[in-house]
Amino acid sequence: KRGIDELALGLLSNSSQGVDRELAVGVLNHLYERRHSPGLNLAAINTQRGRDHGLPDYNAFRRHCGLKSAKTFKDTFNEIALRRNRRLLAKLYNNKPELADLWVAGLAETPANGGIVGATFGCIMRKQMTRARDGDRYFYMNKGMFSQQQLKEIRKASLSRIMCDNLRSIVSIQKNAFISGRRSNRRTECGNIPGIDLTPWEGKHY
């Protein structure tokens, strides 16, 4: 009704919940729910998607990511730190990691390397992003795409600056819009958020 402004401002001020095996009730049994129509279960859908697409099992992805192959879920204690998670997975999959669905076991992992996902998901995402970058001939950091001065300006681009330029009622924002405001990421006036200077592109023809 009022556009994206209020939604975006709300997202700036609220922290997301942690990534774990506990899903919000709204997506467990009420996904796309309408009057007189039952909702769907996102956990069941994601699990079945993995099977439909023939994804390898959790243990196979562990090996692919350089992690130790697990004979039982006791062997996953470095990645799945919570004992109750290991016990639950052992019960569901007959204590055989090679039977475990990637999505289910991956969510049970403890966040690793300062991230929000565990070691296996982190590995998969890193490989995906690296291949997407290296496979894009027009990626902005590729040699010959831009001059050093142009790259310097491009690197000033930020979601915070974009939001300041486009939201009508915004007056302040944290320097990193992806992280909620805190001591190390305090809100500041939009005028203090750097933007791109297009001077290095003057006179250039593409």
Phi, psi of 183 (to 5 degrees): -55, -40
The pLDDT, as a whole number, for residue 190 is 96
User: Which pair of structure tokens corresponds to residue 158?
Assistant: 């930020």
Mean confidence (pLDDT) of the chain: 93
Residue 140 in any domain: the answer is: no
Residue 14 tokens, joined: 């609220």
Residue 153 has pLDDT above 80, yes or no: yes
Tell me: do 67 and 169 sit in the same domain.
Answer: no
With cut-offs at 50, 70 and 90, classify the pLDDT of residue 188: very high
pLDDT at residue 185, as a whole number: 87
Tokens of 124: 């998969």
**Rounded to an integer, what distance in angstroms lies between the CA atom of residue 94 and that of residue 100?**
9
- Do 98 and 157 lie in a common domain? no
With respect to residue 143, please indicate whether it lies within any of the assigned structural domains: no
pLDDT at 171 (0 to 100): 92
pTM of the model: 0.84
Contact assessment for residue 115 and residue 122, using Cβ atoms and an 8 Å cutoff: yes
Domain range enclosing 30: 4-135
